[in-house]
Amino acid sequence: MYKTCTSDANPLMQLKKGQIIELDIHALAFGGAGIGKYEGLTVFVEKTMPGDKVEASLTKIKSNFAEATLVKISKQSMDRENPRCKYSGTCGGCQLQFMPYEKQLEFKKQHVIDSFERIGKIYDPPVADVVGCEDPFYYRNKMEFTFGYDAEMNFALGMHLPGRRYDILDLNECHLQSEFSVEIVNKVRDFAIKRGWAPFKYSCGQGFLRSLFIREGKRTEEVMINLSTSDDLPSDLDEGLSELIDILKNDKIVSIFWSQVISKRGQRKRIKEKLLYGKPTLKEKMIVKDNELSFDIAPQSFFQVNTLQAENLYSHVVDMALGKAHNTVFDLFCGTGTIGLFLAKHVEQVLGIELVEDSVKVARENAMKNNIFNIDFIASDVGKVLSSVKERPSLIVVDPPRVGLTEKIIKKMNDFGASQIIYVSCNPATLARDCNWLKEYGYQVKHIQPVDMFPHTFHIENVCLLER
Ligand SMILES: C[S@@+](CC[C@H](N)C(=O)[O-])C[C@H]1O[C@@H](n2cnc3c(N)ncnc32)[C@H](O)[C@@H]1O
């Protein structure tokens, strides 16, 4: 069955899609797959790890690489462990669960080093060991479960299957949020099936139930539920919603929302939100270096998904900032202001800049609520507003989206003459690129601290200190 290439054969002439090859996996690529060589050609095989010997079926063949799906592991890597979740490898949520957590952290650290060397041209970068989660399970404070149908067209509430547009994996086990959130999912599923409420079908725009959002304060144990539906309302809506409230109500659940997504052809999508039970916001706390702040989170608010690791991330930001005395600090791309709010205690004044007005509104409320008065916010595009800002910071903190900064923003940052920059990033590739640009303005990378916010996935967050 296997194709065996002789060493003088051109493998590309012989390889065919669907062909099964056998190879050893020697490395892991960022973003998903194990890497092996077949007759000199690099082959990416998903769901594998270094040390595995596998049989894989070729799906894509290019001149310098190929992709293959795993058929069988003929010999397991010594490092492999049994995933805790029965859906591991199926649901697409925790791609690395078969790898011991320490190995995941080593792999992520190496990825950060490689990015700096390959993309940033910064060799032997000062990358510290990754700060891992104390518990790499049940770390998420927010999950969204989708209503739909499985491949056999049975009612399903769970996750979108990777690579499939409509199929939903019906979940009754998940180790990402809490056992309590899985209980909620199971109760809502039983209720919907009993009531005969149908999932919304994207293909024809019919059906009622779209998704179930669950938020959980990891420091407060408060829980918020948000049932998102279409406007294709069932005839027993009122009776059904009050039955659902009765089923769900308990001490931990502080609010239940119903969000109706109204989408008419040719019109902008609108969301009509109704509080069915409890209070309009969930309270979460964060403790950074003995400084405890409290946050009210509404259903649509942005909030860091891993509360406990966000605390670790922010405490590294504060530690780096405390290395020098600062008067004015800029918190660029500040979201709901959390980083600036934790820095405010240590400096004279903070200015946060954020594009989304709603986030700025929440940031101001957060400041008032926590009695922090030396912080101000501007709702604007960082790229546009920086030239008109009069303050002169000695420290600039940036936390941009995955695309990173632009050369224009970096040039403007340079004009302020700050002695330190703390760059928080969820994307090592753009972080490395931007540090290379910053190097041209005289900023040197002093310390890079990776923090693992998303165990069992390929993501890695970094806090990077630059000085000149
Ligand atoms: C990674 S989040 C930062 C979150 C925040 N620092 C925190 O820890 O909660 C990036 C933020 O940048 C904002 N953003 C994106 N583009 C922007 C721009 N051009 N100007 C200002 N803010 C922008 C997004 O709305 C988002 O809130």
Residues 75-79, mean pLDDT to the nearest whole number: 94
Tell me whether residue 174 is one of the annotated catalytic residues: no
Q: From CA 332, how far away is CA 196, in angstroms rounded?
A: 48
430 contacts 436 by C-beta, under 8 angstroms: no
Binning pLDDT at 50, 70 and 90, where does residue 11 land? low
Binning pLDDT at 50, 70 and 90, where does residue 31 land? confident
Residue 12 is predicted with a pLDDT of: 55
Q: Could you say which of 3.40.50.150, 3.65.10.10, 3.40.50.300, 3.30.70.1560 is the CATH number of the domain covering 106-134+306-467? A: 3.40.50.150
Residue 302 is predicted with a pLDDT of: 81
Q: Ligand 1 centre from 402 Cα, in Å? A: 10
Return the structure tokens found at 17: 């899609």
Statement: residue 441 has pLDDT above 70? yes
Tell me the per-residue pLDDT of 191-210, one tens digit each, with 9 for 90 and over: 999 999 999 998 888 999 99
Binning pLDDT at 50, 70 and 90, where does residue 338 land? very high
Tell me the per-residue pLDDT of 217-239, one tens digit each, with 9 for 90 and over: 999 999 999 999 999 999 999 99
Tell me the per-residue pLDDT of 279-322, one tens digit each, with 9 for 90 and over: 999 999 999 999 999 999 988 888 999 999 999 999 999 999 99
**Chain centroid, CA 86 distance in Å:** 22
Tell me the per-residue pLDDT of 366-409, one tens digit each, with 9 for 90 and over: 999 999 999 999 999 999 999 999 999 999 999 999 999 999 99
Residue 8 is predicted with a pLDDT of: 43
Ligand 1, pocket residues at CB < 6 Å: 302, 304, 333-336, 338-339, 353-356, 359, 381-383, 399-401
Q: Ligand 1 centre from 143 Cα, in Å? A: 21
Identical fold between 11-75 and 106-134+306-467 = no
Beta bridge partners of 262: 270
Q: Could you say which of 2.40.50.140, 1.10.3720.10, 3.30.70.3270, 3.40.50.720 is the CATH number of the domain covering 11-75? A: 2.40.50.140
Statement: residue 3 has pLDDT above 70? no
Q: Is the dihedral of CA 365, 366, 372, 376 positive or negative?
A: negative
187 contacts 247 by C-beta, under 8 angstroms: yes
Name the phi and psi angles at 228, rounded to 5.
Answer: -100, 130
Indicate which atom in ligand 1 lies nearest the CA of residue 314: 8
Statement: residue 363 has pLDDT above 50? yes
The residue from 85, 91, 426, 464 that is catalytic is 426
402, with CB counted inside 10 A (0-12, 13-18, 19+), is exposed
* Higher per-residue confidence, 461 vs 203: 461
Per-residue three-class SS string for 275-332: EEEECCCEEEEEEECCEEEEEEECCCCCCCCCHHHHHHHHHHHHHHHHCCCCCEEEEE
Render the burial of 76-85: b for 16+ CB within 10 Å, e for the rest.
ebeebeebeb
CA nearest neighbour of 368 among 307, 295, 263 = 295
Return the structure tokens found at 260: 């109706």
Statement: residue 1 has pLDDT above 70? no
Tell me the per-residue pLDDT of 290-301, one tens digit each, with 9 for 90 and over: 999 999 998 888
Q: Could you say which architecture CATH assigns to the domain 142-284?
A: Beta Barrel (2.40)
Binning pLDDT at 50, 70 and 90, where does residue 6 land? very low
Tell me the per-residue pLDDT of 86-142, one tens digit each, with 9 for 90 and over: 998 788 889 899 999 999 999 999 999 999 999 999 999 999 999 999 999 999 999
User: Which residue ranges make up each domain of the chain?
Assistant: 11-75, 106-134+306-467, 142-284
Return the structure tokens found at 4: 């065996």
Rounded mean pLDDT of the chain? 93
